[in-house]
Every structure is written in structure tokens, then in C-alpha cells.
Amino acid sequence: MDLLQKINAATSFIQSSCSEQPLIGVVLGSGLGGFTEEMIVEHSINYSDIPHFPVSTVEGHSGKMLIGRMAGKLIVVLSGRFHYYEGYTTSEVVFPIRVMQKMGIKHLLISNAAGGTNTGFKVGDLMVIKDHISFAIVNPLIGKNIDELGIRFPDMSEPYSKKLIEKAHQIAKNEGFELKEGVYFGVTGPSFETRAEYKLIHQFGADAVGMSTVQEVIIAVHAGMQIFAISVITDIGIREEENTISHKDVLDAANASAPKLTSLLKTMIATMELAS
Ligand code: HPA
């Protein structure tokens, strides 16, 4: 079975239990499960039941697709994502994004946990991603291009919607919290960065570093989606005196910022103009 057939089979399975057409997709990162408590879930589908879906292995990622309403809009949420470091192929990592594409998703909201490499950041900050650096990861478009899914050489001059970034700043202002903005540097993990690596990443012009998101965003650009992505800063790698880090630290910090992030995403969804 080729990739297109697998995408079609997974999508048909999902659509057989949901006849309505969501336009907004959400990918939740580490520790951000609280978001789903704010939605009215109409369908909850275990990844393990969806044909050809990989199965998530990381603690803190539950592995479900949820379809339901938030702020009155129908959304599809990936609660649990696939990371390259788990041993999945790039094609497996981005398979759920391809399924969302086939489902007709036009707007994608992505969250992640990331290490800060900007000295002005502190643990718990939210950073809107305005751009990324992808050369330390494997590009998921490598291989024969599937023209039905997108073009061979996608333009990457503005992967992250300026309009949605502006909207996020406006919401943060109205809700009274600070929102940082910066460049996200993608790595494969699973080891965290060495001190020299955090410094180099900072010198490259990145404000945060993380093990997800970039591959998903490249596919979403290929798919023509409008994209918004945001990081919870869970550690400050650039500061030598405080740069020891564990997965538990990451989850604790992400959980502590989850209410702020959930509130932001909810208001974004409430006020987004949808493609027709
Ligand atoms: N580096 C890479 N990925 C991460 C980090 C980090 O410091 N924190 C959370 N995810």
C-alpha cells in the first residue's frame, strides 16, 4: 500500500465516525493535555484504532485524536504526537498532519515544550514561533514528491502566519500576560543539548530549541495550511548555572503554564477567521 492509500484509509476511518468537517487542527505538546478538558469532545479515537497511525510511546502523551467543539468551532486535536527520536520514520512522524490535510484542515495550531536559548527568557514563558531553523533535523519531504499533496519545492519565507501571530499578541495584551516571540531551532533529541550546543544555537539566531514541530510545520506548509505555533519555555539551556534538565522538569514546567496556553489557544480559536 502506498502513502496516499494509507492516508486515505486512515481518513475514511475517522470520517466514518464523524460526518462534520472541522477546519482547525491542534497538535498538543508535552504536558498540555489540560486543553482537551476545555473542549466538548464529540469523538475520541485512540491512535491504535486508526489504520496506519503510529502509536505514541512518550510519558505525558496520551495518543488520541479528539474531535469536538471549542468556543463553538469544530476542531480536531492530536493529543500526543510522534517524535523522530522515538524511532519513527519522518513519514510516520508527519502522518497525522497528512491525515488532517486529507480531512480538509486549513488552520493548524501547534504547541510544544522548548529550551530557552534567549537570555531574556525565563521558565514558564510562552514564546510564539515566528520562524524556525530546520537544518539539524531530517526534512520530511525528502523522497519522491507526491504532487497530490503539494509542490516539490515549497516556499518557506513565511511558514507561520503573521496574522495569527498578531492575533496572539493582541489576546495576550487583553488577557494581561506577557508573550515572547522568537525563532525555534529544531533538533532530533532525545538527549538534551550540551552547553556548547545551547550556545551555538543561540549564536545561530534561535531563541528556543526543541525536538518536535519543525517536521510537522514543513508538511503543513506543503499542505497549504495556515500555521500558528507556540512554545512553553521549560528550561533555560543557555544559562550555565541552571542548565541541568530532566524530562520531569520539562513536564512540570509545561503543566504549570498549561492554563495560560489553553486560554490563549481557546481565544485564538474563538476569534479566528476560517477559510471557506
Ligand atoms: N532542548 C530540546 N528540547 C527540549 C528542551 C531543551 O532544552 N526543553 C524541552 N524540550
Minimum CA distance residue for ligand 1 atom 7 = 115
- Domain boundaries, position 207: 21-271
Q: Report the DSSP beta bridge partners of residue 208.
A: 116, 184
Would the CB of 245 count as within 6 Å of ligand 1? yes
Confidence of residue 276 (pLDDT cuts 50, 70, 90): confident
Q: Is there a domain that residue 16 lies in?
A: no
Q: Considering the chain, what percentage of its residues have pLDDT values greater than 90?
A: 78
pLDDT (tens digit per residue) in 131-169: 999 999 999 999 999 999 999 999 999 999 999 999 999
Confidence of residue 220 (pLDDT cuts 50, 70, 90): very high
Minimum CA distance residue for ligand 1 atom 3 = 210
Q: How far is the CA of 114 from the centre of ligand 1 (A)?
A: 4
| CATH code of the domain in which 75 resides | 3.40.50.1580
Q: Is there a domain that residue 40 lies in?
A: yes
Q: Is there a domain that residue 143 lies in?
A: yes
Minimum CA distance residue for ligand 1 atom 5 = 115
Q: Is there a domain that residue 13 lies in?
A: no
pTM of the model: 0.94
Q: Report the DSSP beta bridge partners of residue 15.
A: none
Angle at 70 between CA 221 and CA 254, to 5 degrees: 70
> Comparing C-alpha atoms, which of 21, 198, 33, 39 is closest to residue 114?
198
Q: Is there a domain that residue 87 lies in?
A: yes
Q: Is there a domain that residue 248 lies in?
A: yes
- Structurally, the chain folds into a number of domains equal to 1
Q: Is there a domain that residue 276 lies in?
A: no
The amino acid present at 131, given as its one-letter code, is: D
Question: What's the distance, Cα to Cα, between the start and end of the chain in Å?
Answer: 32
Can you give the pLDDT at residue 63? 86
Q: Is there a domain that residue 10 lies in?
A: no
- Phi (first) and psi of residue 48, to 5 degrees: -65, -15
Task: Locate the DSSP E strands across the chain.
Answer: 24-28, 40-46, 64-70, 73-79, 107-116, 126-133, 180-186, 208-210, 226-236
